[in-house]
Structure 1
Amino acid sequence: MTTTAASWSFRVAQAADVDAIVALVQSAYRGEGSKRGWTTEADMLDGQRTDPAGVAALLDKPGSVVLLAESAAGLLACAHIERQGQAGYFGMFSVSPQLQGGGIGRAVLAEAERIARDDWTCNEMQMTVISIRDELIAWYERRGYRRTGQYRPFPYGDERFGIPKRADLRFELLVKSLGV
């Protein structure tokens, strides 16, 4: 499947989108199907990446939106954006595995940054990435994010975030100035 920027658009998710969001996130990160894309975590984690209750909670949380990129064919990509004081937080970033590498992810990230900067007047965007995801971190670095050396523990034992296959998982905080 191929798509061009002219064939898709952005919108904010609603409650009716929860199941489609969960399916997209799962397809991008877990299971054999996720291995068609380069963002898979299937070699590090089994189980779920998110669930309907978790996505619904993000939609209900003040200062929080789930951004969708979609076409006539359906949901292509999503990302959670949350205002946290003067910073935006970017997470749950997912692009359909067969569309990865085609520019949709770059456009979703840019739109999330625009929302945080222009609509929320945030001065930086923050995110956490599993620290051993070198290729993914390099992708963010090419888009202006920097590694902070600040780490957060992986929630071992909480299967809502997956079932780890390794003992060395942790999150690193990445930040980007939005120039506000």
Structure 2
Amino acid sequence: MDIAPATPRAELTFRDATEDDVPVLVRLVESAYRGDASRAGWTSEADILQGQRTDAEGVREVITTPSGRVLVAEQDGLVVACCQLEHRGKAAYFGMFAVRPELQGAGLGKVIIAEAEHTAREEWGVGEMHMTVISVRHELIAWYERRGYRRTGELSPFPYGEERFGIPQRDDLAFELLVKEL
């Protein structure tokens, strides 16, 4: 499985990730958020964080967590997007959301987040979806707000000094909790 070119018009299918998907998912997440490749899309964090966004160990941990799953979106058998879902009591957590940079802005993100919300609601019976977003990512937060998420003002610290999550380029990073009723 690779992340070779795909078109925004091809049929989208969903499946749960397996450990065999780890290398492809690491490349996908990295390409969507870090380095020059990420600048082809609009979700790049390259100006606020350098270094890696994730690694094989982190992706494998998310895939194998008993209370969670990674939803993979494919077009013509090629991985084009992914997201993490984790069952947390009355809510689900949404994370590790990545769409291939060259396909961003084509409407795939809306379809994928809707599928994630549907999956969490139907399979776990949860009433809310939670996520955390770096608080200075105003454009991204606005995109989630247009999807029905609301800012809570609840902040948690960015893990400064843990290069596994990236190398901050500014000293004001924090995660804000966003919530949507399903």
Shift of 1:8: 2.1
Give aligned-pair identity as a percent: 58
Matched, 1:2 2:2: no
Please show how residues 87-166 of structure 1 align to structure 2 within 5 Å. 87-166=91-170
Residue by residue over 1:127-168, the C-alpha shift from the partner in whole angstroms, topping out at 9 and shown as x without a partner, is: 000001111000000010000000000000001100001001
Residue by residue over 1:73-99, the C-alpha shift from the partner in whole angstroms, topping out at 9 and shown as x without a partner, is: 611000000000110000010000000
Aligned pair partner of 2:29 in 25, 28, 36: 25
Q: Where does residue 75 of structure 1 map in the other structure? A: 79
For normalisation by structure 1, the TM-score amounts to 0.96
Matched, 1:56 2:60: yes
**How far apart in 1 are the matches of 2:74 and 2:7?**
13
Q: Secondary structure in 2 aligned to 1:155?
A: coil
**How far apart in 1 are the matches of 2:63 and 2:12?**
22
Residue by residue over 1:1-46, the C-alpha shift from the partner in whole angstroms, topping out at 9 and shown as x without a partner, is: 5322x52211110010000000000000000110010000000000
Q: Where does residue 12 of structure 1 map in the other structure? A: 16
**How far apart in 1 are the matches of 2:64 and 2:35?**
28
**How far apart in 2 are the matches of 1:107 and 1:52?**
26
Q: Secondary structure in 2 aligned to 1:122?
A: coil
For normalisation by structure 2, the TM-score amounts to 0.95
Q: Where does residue 168 of structure 1 map in the other structure? A: 172
Q: Secondary structure in 2 aligned to 1:10?
A: strand
Ranges of 4+ aligned residues in structure 1 off by more than 4 Å: none
**How far apart in 1 are the matches of 2:124 and 2:64?**
18
